[in-house]
Each structure stands twice: as C-alpha cells, then as structure tokens.
Amino acid sequence: MPELPEVETIRRGLAPALLGRTITAVVLRHARLRLPLSPELTNILPGQRVLAVERRAKYLLLRLDRGVLLLHLGMSGYLRLLPAEQVPQRHDHVDLVFDDGMALRFNDARRFGVCLWLGGEAGEHPLLSGLGPEPWDEDMTGNYLSAFAAGRKSAIKNLIMDQRVIVGVGNIYASEALYRAGIAPQAEAGRVSLARYRRLAEAIREVLTQALAAGGTTLRDFRDSAGRPGYFAQLLDVYGREGEPCRGCGRPISNQKIGGRSSFFCRHCQH
DNA sequence: ACTGGCTCCTGAGGGC
DNA sequence: TGCCCTCAGGAGCCAG
C-alpha cells in the first residue's frame, strides 16, 4: 500500500500520540506475516516506553527503551490508533496496548508486512543495512543516480524502485517522477544522460514532497493513523490514468508492464 | 554481477 | 449466482 509519503504521513500522525507512552501488553493474532511474528514480542515489549517514532525508507521504527521495533506495511497493511477494547476485525494481526488505554492495531490482509524486534543494534539489521539514501539526502543527486546506473541495462523505472539505489519510491511515484522528468520508464538506465538524471533526482524529490504535503495518495484504502485519506490521487499526472489525456499534450496515457508492474507514461512527452 | 521472473497472501472487480 | 481470471501501493530470492 504505502510508499514514502504514506509511511511518513502515518509516522507524523503516530508520533504525538505515542511519544512517552509505555507499552503494557502485546496481542498477536496471526503467527505469520512476511516474516514470522515472534511470540517473544509479548515478553519483550511490555514495560518499554516510546522514545521516538522514526522512519527509514518505507519502514516505521518505534524507538523504545531497549531497542527498536520495526514495522513495514507491505502492500495492504495499515495502522490505527483505537481504544484497546475495540473488537478486532478480520486481518487485525497485532495490537500494541499502551498505558492510556489506546492500542496501535496492525491490519494487513495480504500479510506482506513485517513486525520485527530489532533490539539495540537496529542499523546492523540486514533489512536496514543495505538501503540507499533517502530522497532528500545530500548525496542523492543526479550524479549519484547516474553513477549507479552506469552499465546497467535494466529499465530506469526498475532502477529507481530498487531500495538499494534510493529508498521510498514505489510504483506510483516512480511513474510520476519519470513523467515529470520527461523520461520514458522503459529507457535503459545506463544510457540516460547525466543531465536527465539531474532532472530525475529533482523530480523524485518534488513529487514526494508534494504527495507528503497532500497527506499521501489514497487509491483504494490508504488511511493515515486517524483514518483520514490522502489527497494526492487527484494530483497524479499518469498513474492510473491509462487512456486519459496527458496533461501536457492531450494524447492518451499509456500503460505497459515493466518488471511485472503497471507503468504509466506519455509516449509523446517521455523519451 | 545483473536481470527478469517467481513468490508470499487476500480481496476486488470484470467477463461469461 | 457463481466461477475463473487479472490485478493490486512491496520486496526477497533464485536460476540463468
């Protein structure tokens, strides 16, 4: 479900509600997400306070007294803050119950998400250690992307969705950023000029910044932690707009599978 | 070393 | 109504 703007929207919503709260109980209702849910969570987490609610890539990181709890929402996951006694629904897999009677409830129909205790050396964990720069990092430049792409034959869209290259860009914003940069998503990564990578680096930052300001993109079911939708969907230029007129030239938007994922673009404005 | 393809899982929607 | 197919915002793994 979520890309960087959606995860960051959730983080911003959760932080004020969770900071300083102490976990009093953990409820596990399904044993297996993308990684198995450890039964030990019910022993490890209670008694620990929330010191910070952070994000790295599309991971949410709850920094607690004795280490970090990592959450990933996969394709279909969402988090809600609700009274702990509220009756759980289908696919409500995990509750973190807090000392104010509220619970952070993790629902994930497809179970591609992750809820994992990383302990005190979170940065060393393989899920985090191989990640590329955040979009707003100083070293995420056109030069950096261009250097990474050198010699690569794969489609540029796949390159920018590779979390080892740059984090946070998923299938929606990859199409959107490439449209803004005027680059065809199927272009061979190693043959795109440095000038165009500079435009692309800017376009990635720009589209993510605007999506974040709009509270993310709600297509089917995205909601922030308070249940509100995001409003970026109405600002999408290409994603989900197959056959509709390009906002630049009026010609119909195309949809083509690249790396197994639908990719939306304008054949006239992107090369 | 890269690359593309497959995989995990459930649910929604379309065609017949 | 029901069945079957395709598709969905992620990302790890594997063979070639």
Summarize pLDDT for A51-109 with one digit per residue, the tens: 999 999 999 999 999 999 999 999 999 999 999 999 999 999 999 999 999 999 999 99
- Respond yes or no: is residue A202 known to be catalytic: no
Active-site residue identified among A56, A58, A180, A241: A58
Q: Return d(Cα A68, Cα A71) in angstroms, integer.
A: 10
A88-116 burial code (b ≥16 CB/10 A, e <16): eeebbbbbbbbeeebbbbbbbbebebbbb
Phi-psi domain of A216 (left: phi exceeds 0; alpha: psi -120 through 50; beta: other): left
Helix (H) or strand (E) holding A67: strand A67-72
Q: What is the mean pLDDT of chain A?
A: 96
Task: Tell me the mean pLDDT in the region A185-208.
Answer: 98
Answer whether residue A31 shows pLDDT above 80.
no
- Respond yes or no: is residue A261 known to be catalytic: yes
Helix (H) or strand (E) holding A17: helix A4-18
A25-44 burial code (b ≥16 CB/10 A, e <16): ebbeeeeebeeebeeebeeb
Q: Enumerate residues 6+ apart whose C-beta is below 8 A from A101.
A: A83, A84, A85
C chain positions with any atom within 7 Å of a protein CB: 7-12
Per-residue confidence (pLDDT) for residue A219, from 0 to 100: 86
Per-residue confidence (pLDDT) for residue A44, from 0 to 100: 98
Q: What is the pLDDT of residues A247-271, one digit of tens each?
A: 999 999 999 999 999 999 999 999 9
pTM of the model: 0.97
Q: What is the pLDDT of residues A114-159, one digit of tens each?
A: 999 999 988 789 999 999 999 999 999 999 999 999 999 999 999 9
Active-site residue identified among A63, A198, A261, A267: A261
| Paired strand residues for A50 | A64
Strand B and A111 CB separated by under 7 Å? yes
- Respond yes or no: is residue A185 known to be catalytic: no
Q: Return d(Cα A45, Cα A49) in angstroms, integer.
A: 9
B chain positions with any atom within 7 Å of a protein CB: 2-11
